[in-house]
Every structure is written in structure tokens, then in C-alpha cells.
Amino acid sequence: PDVAPVLSVNNIEVIYDRVILVLKGVSLTVPEGGIVALLGANGAGKTTTLKAISNLLGAERGDVTKGAIIFKGERVEALSPNELVRRGCIQVMEGRHCFGHLTIEENLLTGAYTRRDGGGAIRQDLEMVYSYFPRLRERRSSLAGYTSGGEQQMCAIGRALMSRPTMILLDEPSMGLAPQLVEEIFEIVKQLNVNEGVSFLLAEQNTNMALKYAKYGYILENGRVVLDGEASALRENEDVKEFYLGVG
């Protein structure tokens, strides 16, 4: 029996600046409690897909999004990014985006801005974040701008957790990090998935690592899904091996 999807993206198209067709009808599904990888080379359209879901594209600049996005059974294309966060879907942007002049703890607390519950619950969630990321606890009083790339990535994920999400859209967490640190972060993603029930849509160029942690994957090329399947099947696929896993 199939698990109900928490997120369905149906045939979305994105046009940048009114003319540049970048997504040419992308469809994908994330089952409740799933980790799904969105794979593809630089420029394939991974970030654009995540931003289309979060409604972070610039309509005012002439970016157009078509198609349907359904989160927890409801159409969400017209919602503001904040409203989507309130409903439980949050994006962690590529490049980590911590506030460099705030401490790690202050950064984490900014993640609770959409919440309407009080200080006690927020304090508790801060503890929850520190329990998954002990390094953040150690660095809680450091200015984020002076912490390492790995710590900033952890801080970005931790901040997202402070909104109590059911789903995180995680854009390229491995970017610029040493393999061991990437593994450490992916292990924590897995624990969050198992223990907290958070679903993940994980955009990654690091196919090898992503397919180790995701259960299912979609491969984007030039704005289209060219292949999708169980992670185990993708790992064995000859084209995936040759073009994405670097073993011909």
C-alpha cells in the first residue's frame, strides 16, 4: 500500500523574466515521512523547483509558475512563503544563509518567527535542536559569521527546525563541505526523519551521498524529470552510474 503524499508537484513550469522556460513540466511526489532526492547537474533546475514550491520566485520580476502544488492535501501555489512555513513546509536555501552578525542561538530563534505559541515551547525546541546538533550548543554564543561552513549549514537546518516543520526542502546541503561533514549532516537528517517524522525533499549534486540516504530519487536534466525510481534501483542504473556516480 502506498503512503499518502505529503507533497505533490504536478506538471509545474517556470518561466524566468517572462521568456526563459526553465522548468518544462516537472512532477514529483514526497510520501509522508519520506526522504526524496532531487538530483541533477548544475543548472538542471533543482533550485528552481524548490523555489517554485516555496513560492520564492519573483512574480514581480516577471517569473511565472504554472501547474499545481499540493501540500497536505491542499493547493498551495497562491500562499506566501510565510503561510507555507506556518503550515509546515520550509525551505533551507543553498549557501546556508545564516545571519553572520547574530549568534548561533539568535539565528536559531529567528526560525521561530512564524510561530504563535509561547516562549516555553520555543525554549524546548531549542533544546531539541541542540540535542541533534551538539556542535551548535557548543557554539551557541559565537557569531555565525565566525563559524565554519559545516556549522553554518547545521545552523540553517536548525533554524528551519525551529518552525516545527513537517517537511523541509533542503537545497544542496553538501555544497562546499568536506565528505566527512556531509556524512555527519546527512546522518542527522536521517535521525530527524526517523525520530521527528520530518519529510525531506533534498536537492543534491552529490548523487552518491543523496542516494545513500533517500528512499526515492528524481533526476532532472534541462528542466525535465528524465528518470525516477527507488534509490536502490537508481544506484544500479547504468546511465546513473555513468553520468552521475562517476563509475562507468
Tell me whether strands 5-16 and 20-31 are parallel, antiparallel or unpaired.
antiparallel
Count residues binding ligand ATP (CB under 6 A): 14
**Interface with ligand ATP (CB under 6 A), residue from 4, 20, 68, 178:** 20
Segment near ligand ATP (CB under 6 A), from 43-51, 74-82, 136-144, 181-189? 43-51
Q: Which lies closer to ligand ATP via its Cβ, residue 128 or residue 245?
A: 245
CA distances from 202 to 1, 28, 39, 92, 189 (A): 24, 12, 8, 10, 10
From CA 26, how far away is CA 52, in angstroms rounded? 11
Q: What minimum distance in Å lies between the beta carbon of 106 and ligand ATP? A: 28
Closest by CA to 45, choosing from 9, 81, 98, is 9
- The set of cell numbers assigned to 241 is 552510474
Q: Does 176 bind ligand ATP (CB under 6 A)?
A: no
**Interface with ligand ATP (CB under 6 A), residue from 29, 47, 54, 91:** 47
Task: Write the interaction track for ligand ATP spanning residues 216-235; mark x where CB under 6 A is met and - where it is not.
Answer: --------------------
Q: Does 165 bind ligand ATP (CB under 6 A)?
A: no
Q: What minimum distance in Å lies between the beta carbon of 43 and ligand ATP? A: 4
Tell me whether strands 216-221 and 35-39 are parallel, antiparallel or unpaired.
parallel
H or E stretch including 89?
strand 89-92
Q: Which of residues 68-127 bind ligand ATP (CB under 6 A)?
A: 94
From CA 11, how far away is CA 166, in angstroms rounded? 23
Closest by CA to 170, choosing from 157, 159, 185, is 157
Q: Does 173 bind ligand ATP (CB under 6 A)?
A: no
Q: What minimum distance in Å lies between the beta carbon of 14 and ligand ATP? A: 8
**Interface with ligand ATP (CB under 6 A), residue from 1, 2, 42, 120:** 42
Closest by CA to 70, choosing from 30, 113, 120, 108, is 30
Q: Which lies closer to ligand ATP via its Cβ, residue 111 or residue 223?
A: 223
Beta bridge partners of 37: 202, 217
**Interface with ligand ATP (CB under 6 A), residue from 36, 37, 44, 156:** 44
Q: Does 4 bind ligand ATP (CB under 6 A)?
A: no
Segment near ligand ATP (CB under 6 A), from 15-23, 108-116, 135-143, 153-161? 15-23
**Structural contact between residues 99 and 110, judged by C-beta atoms closer than 8 angstroms:** yes
CA distances from 12 to 53, 73, 206, 208 (A): 9, 17, 24, 27
**Interface with ligand ATP (CB under 6 A), residue from 34, 40, 173, 217:** 40
Interface residues toward ligand ATP, by CB under 6 A:
16-17, 20, 22, 40, 42-48, 94, 205
